[in-house]
């Protein structure tokens, strides 16, 4: 214990004797940090940030009703993936001519790799702790930083709208085909029922085009005919009536889905809710000179102390070897 205390005292005395060297060395490091963090060595970068919430568009009904709720966790993750996608990235590269802006040599074979790396370093898209999405852009031009952030949001919304519209278009075509195929069998059964009863009791495919009162009347009449067929044990008619009833239910369900998809296709897809728009920054984000200088001062001090101790130990070692 006493030996360790003596060793510590010796080290402190050693450092005190070389205090001038430690001071000068630390000052030199501080000056170097100050000089090399100046704008002519490190290009100042400005940060612009947009905070958004994606809208809830996870179903056709929500889309049709233009639901104003924020998106769920799944939709937030989907929107982040869209914003990070190569489609958005490449659109930004073309729009802002980033090869020239970032001084990337286009003759290099790895030009895309270098550009994508610089883009990834300058553009950050992350979920915040409040379940919003942050799009931050670092750039030497503050105006371009804000413009890029806004453009990324707009392009992400356009991409999401395109995907949703594409899915709705496929749904409309599929439902149209289903309705077309179902109409033949429905009309055939309706024709058989009308012929069997000798009067028009089944409307067939025109059922979905009737108003709600006419549809309700036909359904009630159909229920009465089913009960009557049960009482009279008319098995053939009963099977036709049940089959026709199931076809009407299928047609109504498909027609409802078709109408919803068609309305959704004609409606505008809701855009992201911008909570905090991109502002043109008036203060640089990088480099933070005082942090660089402070880090340099601390590092310089400990480095100088280490040099003094190592030098002293080396001299002691040489003396012991000579003796």
Coil, strand or helix at 84: coil
pLDDT of residue 126: 93
User: Is residue 137 one of the residues assigned to a domain?
Assistant: yes
Phi, psi (rounded to 5 degrees) for 70:
-75, 160
Residues with Cβ within 8 Å of 175's Cβ and at least 6 positions away in sequence, in order, are 254, 257, 258, 261
User: Is residue 32 one of the residues assigned to a domain?
Assistant: no
Q: Which of 266, 291, 317 is the last residue of a domain?
A: 266
User: Is residue 12 one of the residues assigned to a domain?
Assistant: no
Q: Which of 118, 142, 169 is the last residue of a domain?
A: 169
Residue 121 banded pLDDT, cuts 50, 70, 90: very high
User: Is residue 284 one of the residues assigned to a domain?
Assistant: no
Q: What is the domain-level CATH number for residue 55?
A: 3.30.1890
pLDDT, one tens digit per residue, over 152-206 is 999 999 999 999 898 888 988 988 888 887 877 777 777 676 666 666 666 656 6
User: Is residue 182 one of the residues assigned to a domain?
Assistant: yes
State mean pLDDT over 101-110: 90
Residues 251 and 148 in one domain: no
Average pLDDT over all residues of the chain:
80
Q: Whole-angstrom Cα distance, residue 201 to residue 226?
A: 12
With a cut of 50, say whether residue 114 has pLDDT above it.
yes
Q: Whole-angstrom Cα distance, residue 155 to residue 89?
A: 9
Residues 156 and 199 in one domain: no
Q: Whole-angstrom Cα distance, residue 49 to residue 123?
A: 10
Q: Which of 139, 169, 199 is the last residue of a domain?
A: 169
pLDDT of residue 130: 86
pLDDT of residue 67: 45
- To which H or E segment does residue 127 belong? strand 123-127
Structural domain count, the chain: 2
Residues 164 and 174 in one domain: no
Residues 73 and 133 in one domain: yes
pLDDT of residue 61: 47
134 Rama sector, left if φ>0, alpha if ψ -120 to 50, beta otherwise: beta
Q: Whole-angstrom Cα distance, residue 239 to residue 114?
A: 71
pLDDT, one tens digit per residue, over 48-100 is 999 999 887 654 444 444 444 555 778 889 999 999 999 999 999 999 999 99
pLDDT of residue 122: 94
With a cut of 60, say whether residue 38 has pLDDT above it.
yes
Domain that holds residue 104: 46-169
Half-sphere exposure of residue 145, counting CA atoms within 13 Å on the CB side?
A: 25
Residues 156 and 200 in one domain: no
Residue 119 banded pLDDT, cuts 50, 70, 90: very high
Residues with Cβ within 8 Å of 82's Cβ and at least 6 positions away in sequence, in order, are 88, 156, 159, 160, 163
User: Is residue 231 one of the residues assigned to a domain?
Assistant: yes
Residues 152 and 179 in one domain: no
Question: What is the share, in percent, of the chain residues with pLDDT greater than 90?
Answer: 24
State mean pLDDT over 32-42: 71
State mean pLDDT over 284-297: 75
Residues 55 and 157 in one domain: yes
Phi, psi (rounded to 5 degrees) for 125:
-125, 115
Residues 77 and 188 in one domain: no
Residues 196 and 134 in one domain: no
User: Is residue 308 one of the residues assigned to a domain?
Assistant: no
Residues 165 and 206 in one domain: no
User: Is residue 86 one of the residues assigned to a domain?
Assistant: yes
């Amino acid at each position: 214990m006493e030996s360790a205390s003596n060793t510590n005292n010796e080290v402190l005395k050693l450092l005190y004797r070389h205090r001038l060297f430690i001071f000068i060395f630390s000052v030199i490091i501080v000056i170097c940090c100050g000089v090399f963090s100046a704008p002519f060595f490190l290009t100042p970068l400005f940060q612009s940030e947009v905070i958004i919430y994606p809208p809830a568009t996870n179903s056709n009904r929500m889309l049709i009703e233009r639901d104003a709720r924020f998106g769920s966790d799944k939709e937030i993750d989907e929107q982040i993936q869209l914003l990070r996608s190569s489609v958005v990235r490449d659109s930004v590269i073309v729009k802002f001519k980033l090869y020239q802006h970032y001084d990337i040599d286009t003759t290099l074979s790895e030009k895309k790799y270098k550009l994508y790396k610089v883009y990834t370093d300058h553009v950050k898209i992350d979920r915040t702790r409040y379940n919003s999405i942050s799009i931050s852009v670092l750039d030497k031009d503050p105006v371009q930083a804000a413009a890029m952030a806004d453009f990324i949001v707009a392009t992400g919304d356009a991409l999401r709208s395109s995907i949703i519209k594409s899915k709705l278009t496929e749904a409309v075509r599929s439902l149209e085909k289903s309705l077309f195929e179902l109409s033949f069998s429905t009309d055939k059964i309706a024709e058989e029922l009308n012929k069997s009863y000798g009067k028009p009791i089944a409307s067939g495919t025109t059922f979905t085009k009737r108003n709600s009162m006419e549809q309700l009347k036909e359904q009630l009449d159909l229920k009465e005919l089913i009960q009557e067929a049960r009482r009279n044990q008319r098995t053939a008619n009963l099977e036709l009536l049940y089959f026709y009833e199931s076809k009407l239910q299928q047609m109504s369900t498909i027609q409802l889905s078709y109408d919803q998809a068609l309305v959704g296709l004609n409606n505008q897809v809701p855009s992201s809710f911008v909570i905090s728009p991109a502002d043109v920054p008036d203060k640089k984000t990088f480099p933070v000179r005082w942090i660089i200088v402070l880090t340099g001062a601390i590092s310089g001090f400990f480095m100088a102390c280490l040099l003094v101790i190592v030098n002293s130990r080396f001299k002691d070692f040489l003396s012991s070897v000579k003796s």
